[in-house]
């Protein structure tokens, strides 16, 4: 009994030793900066510490309420998320169903679906920026030659078109990620459920509605949570595609916060934006977890 206790205590001790480095890094890189952002957002100070920190309460948040560019960036972020996520979901489910079939060249097809995900988003944005180019771009060339468009379109120069263009790049990149997660869910559905369905004379659509979709709910929720949180912090896509333009039409919350902090060098005001963004993402994750719990 005594020997067991010693082993038990030693195990706990070793365990603490093993997890300590991880928690030190997480504390330094993730937890402390977030806490510090909150502290910065309710104070006034200079980056180099020259101007001592002074508590100013909610001053920066009050200023945000009157900041049109902030509201614009918040709505850009929400609109971007609300349009791209449903599109990605539909395409992702479609792609996953496709990849779940058996056909020749499946390895190559899966690779093609995986590639857009593996590329750096910033470089994706550059690749697409070149294709959208109004003077020499691929889209105008193909569009004009096939007669789909009558004259060259300035894809990134018009407010609505720029947003649509950004959504397309995002959907291109991340539908594949959705598909991968949903595919994993598909493959865990027992085959005999479908055989039973076929015996009952179900059509393929009925199979999808009554077997596939309900059993996929878990994977779909996971994919939706991960992707929505990602979309709400979209940064390098507008950074490299449009720099937020034209006239802030694609300036996301992250991009605006970055500009306030590092271009206008307003650390405290920028921190307030960052804290608001943090709160939006946090509320969303709570909402998701709640609906997930509720439905199960």
Partner 1 sequence: MNKRPRIILYSLVGLSVVISFFPIVWLVLTSLKNTAGIYSWPVQYWPDPLTFQNYWSIFTETPELLRYVLNSFIVGVGCTVLTLSVGGLAGYALSRLRMRFAGVLMVIILSVSMFPPIALLPALFQTFLNLGLLNSFTGLILAHTGLFLPYTVWMLASYFRTLPVEIEEAARLDGMGFLRIFFSIILPLSWPGFVATGLIVFIFSWNEFPLSLVLMTQDAMRTAPVGISLYPGEFAFPWETISTATVIAIIPVLVITAIFQKQILGGLTAGSGK
Q: Is 90 one of the binding residues for partner 1 (CB under 8 A)? A: no
Exposed, middle or buried by CB within 10 Å (0-12, 13-18, 19+), for 103?
exposed
Q: From the CB of 203, what's the least distance to partner 1, in Å?
A: 13
Q: How many whole angstroms separate alpha carbon 245 and alpha carbon 258?
A: 15
Of 44, 89, 236, 246, the residue at the interface with partner 1 (CB under 8 A) is 236
Q: Among 43, 70, 25, 11, which residue's Cα sits nearest to residue 254?
A: 70
Q: Given the complex with partner 1, which of 87 and 131 has the nearer CB atom?
A: 131
Which residues ranging from 180 to 199 are in contact with partner 1 (CB under 8 A)? Answer: 180-181, 183-185, 188
Q: Given the complex with partner 1, which of 95 and 249 has the nearer CB atom?
A: 95
Q: Among 160, 162, 166, 175, which residue's Cα sits nearest to residue 85?
A: 175
Sign of CA pseudo-dihedral 265, 266, 272, 273 = negative
* Interface region with partner 1, contact rule CB under 8 A, candidates 4-12, 54-62, 73-81, 154-162: 4-12
What is the Cβ-side half-sphere exposure of residue 202, based on CA atoms within 13 angstroms?
17
The three state secondary structure string of 24-89 is HHHHHHHHHHHHHHHHHHCEECCCCCCCCCEECCCHHHHHHHCCHHHHHHHHHHHHHHHHHHHHHH
Q: Is 47 one of the binding residues for partner 1 (CB under 8 A)? A: yes
Of 1, 3, 5, 21, the residue at the interface with partner 1 (CB under 8 A) is 21
Q: Is 40 one of the binding residues for partner 1 (CB under 8 A)? A: yes
Q: Is 155 one of the binding residues for partner 1 (CB under 8 A)? A: no
Q: Is 43 one of the binding residues for partner 1 (CB under 8 A)? A: no
* Interface region with partner 1, contact rule CB under 8 A, candidates 15-23, 53-61, 65-73, 205-213: 15-23
Q: Is 82 one of the binding residues for partner 1 (CB under 8 A)? A: no
Q: Is 19 one of the binding residues for partner 1 (CB under 8 A)? A: yes
Which residues ranging from 102 to 141 are in contact with partner 1 (CB under 8 A)? Answer: 103, 105, 107-116, 118-128, 130-131, 135-138, 141
CA separation, residue 58 to residues 77, 264, 271 (Å) = 23, 20, 12
DSSP alpha helix (H) spans, the chain: 2-26, 32-41, 59-65, 68-100, 106-118, 121-132, 138-146, 159-187, 191-199, 204-207, 213-232, 236-241, 253-258, 267-295
Which residues ranging from 253 to 292 are in contact with partner 1 (CB under 8 A)? Answer: 253-254, 257-258, 261-262, 267, 270-271, 274-275, 277-278, 281-282, 285
Of 26, 82, 148, 213, the residue at the interface with partner 1 (CB under 8 A) is 26
* Interface region with partner 1, contact rule CB under 8 A, candidates 51-59, 71-79, 82-90, 222-230: 222-230
Q: From the CB of 245, what's the least distance to partner 1, in Å?
A: 13
């Amino acid at each position: 009994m005594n020997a067991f206790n010693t082993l038990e205590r030693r195990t706990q001790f070793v365990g603490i030793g093993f997890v300590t480095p991880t928690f030190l890094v997480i504390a330094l890189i993730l937890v402390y900066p977030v806490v510090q952002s909150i502290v910065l957002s309710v104070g006034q100070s200079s980056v180099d510490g020259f101007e001592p920190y002074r508590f100013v309460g909610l001053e920066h948040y009050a200023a945000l309420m009157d900041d049109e560019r902030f509201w614009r960036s918040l709505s850009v972020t929400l609109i971007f998320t609300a349009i791209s996520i449903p599109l990605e979901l539909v395409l992702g489910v479609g792609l996953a169903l496709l990849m779940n079939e058996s056909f020749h060249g499946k390895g190559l097809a899966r690779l093609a679906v995986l590639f857009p995900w593996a590329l750096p988003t910033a470089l994706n944005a550059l690749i697409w920026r070149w294709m959208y180019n109004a003077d020499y771009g691929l889209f105008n060339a193909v569009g004009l030659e096939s007669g789909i468009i009558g004259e060259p379109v300035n894809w990134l120069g018009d407010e609505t078109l720029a947003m649509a263009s950004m959504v397309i790049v995002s959907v291109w990149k991340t539908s594949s990620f959705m598909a991968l997660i949903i595919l994993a869910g598909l493959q865990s559905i027992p085959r005999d459920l479908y055989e039973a369905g076929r015996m009952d004379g179900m059509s393929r659509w009925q199979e999808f509605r009554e077997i596939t979709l309900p059993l996929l709910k878990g994977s779909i929720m996971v994919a939706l949570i991960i992707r929505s949180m990602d979309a709400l912090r979209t940064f390098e896509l507008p950074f490299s595609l449009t720099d937020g333009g034209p006239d802030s039409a694609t300036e996301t919350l992250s991009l605006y916060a970055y500009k306030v902090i590092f271009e206008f060098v307003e650390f405290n005001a920028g921190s307030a934006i960052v804290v608001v963004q943090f709160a939006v993402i946090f509320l969303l994750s709570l909402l998701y977890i709640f609906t997930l719990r509720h439905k199960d």
